[in-house]
Amino acid sequence: MTQVTVSSRPDCDIESVESAYVVQSDFFVMPEHMQEFRAVLAQHARNSVCKERGCLSYEATVEEQNPQIFNVYEKYVDKNSYIEHRSTPHYSWFREQVQSMLYKRDDDVVISRRKFSLVAAYFRRAKAIP
């Protein structure tokens, strides 16, 4: 996987958070919308982290074997923060923007803190896309 975007709160060491609500999603993007999707996803990541106190981190990678698949990992203070995220204007904007760019989207999956720590360690080693 190749890292696409990472946004995290500058005022929070996400590794020191004892428990968190972590969500993983996969977005399957049509080839003609790849660049546009990256831009929209990057803006959404910045909005989520900057505008939501409960959003600790928003990270995305693209699969090397199939660059149309974007894997997104979001980390929240708790479940309520994630529920609030889904009711924000920038979340609605993101959903509206990407709706026509996708040929498939997997449902969100909650993952454990330990697994997220392993994923976060991988992201730190991943090569960023210029």
pLDDT score for 64: 85
How far apart CA 8 and CA 11 sit, in angstroms, is 9
Domain residue spans in the chain?
2-125
pLDDT computed for residue 126 by the predictor? 46
pLDDT at 122 over 60: no
E strands, 15-98, where? 21-29, 55-62, 69-76
pLDDT of residue 65 exceeding 90, the answer is no
Q: Which fold has domain 2-125?
A: Alpha-Beta Plaits (3.30.70)
Q: Look up residue 80 and give its amino acid.
A: N
Return the pLDDT at 8: 62
Portion of the chain with pLDDT greater than 70, in percent: 66
108/82 Cα distance (integer angstroms): 11
Computed over every residue of the chain, the mean pLDDT equals 78
Q: CA 68 to CA 32: how far, in whole Å?
A: 10
